[in-house]
């Protein structure tokens, strides 16, 4: 059975709705483009997502 996910707008998205990223957190983290939801999502381990956010916050990306 597929885990139900609650999607939310990423706090890293800017205020422009045309440039939003949505995230669903759980055992894995799902990421999708708000404007193209039907195209699917990318899936990351929780550790990989946390490392990505750290790098963004620290200005490495």
User: Would you kindly state where each structural domain of the chain is located, as residue ranges?
Assistant: 8-57
Strands (E), the chain: 8-9, 21-24, 28-33, 42-45
Distance of CA 13 to the CA centre of its chain: 10
Other Cβ atoms less than 10 A from the Cβ of 29: the count is 21
CB-based contact 49:41 (threshold 8 Å): no
Question: Quick one: pLDDT at residue 21?
Answer: 87
Please state the pTM of the whole predicted model: 0.76
What does the pLDDT look like over 1-60, one tens digit per residue? 456 789 988 776 666 666 688 999 988 999 999 889 999 999 999 999 999 989 989 999
């Amino acid at each position: 059975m597929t885990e139900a996910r609650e999607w939310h707008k990423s706090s890293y998205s800017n205020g422009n709705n045309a440039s939003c990223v949505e995230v669903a957190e759980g055992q894995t983290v799902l990421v999708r483009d708000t404007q193209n939801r039907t195209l699917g999502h990318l899936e990351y381990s929780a550790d990989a997502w946390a490392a990505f956010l750290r790098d963004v916050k620290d200005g490495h990306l």
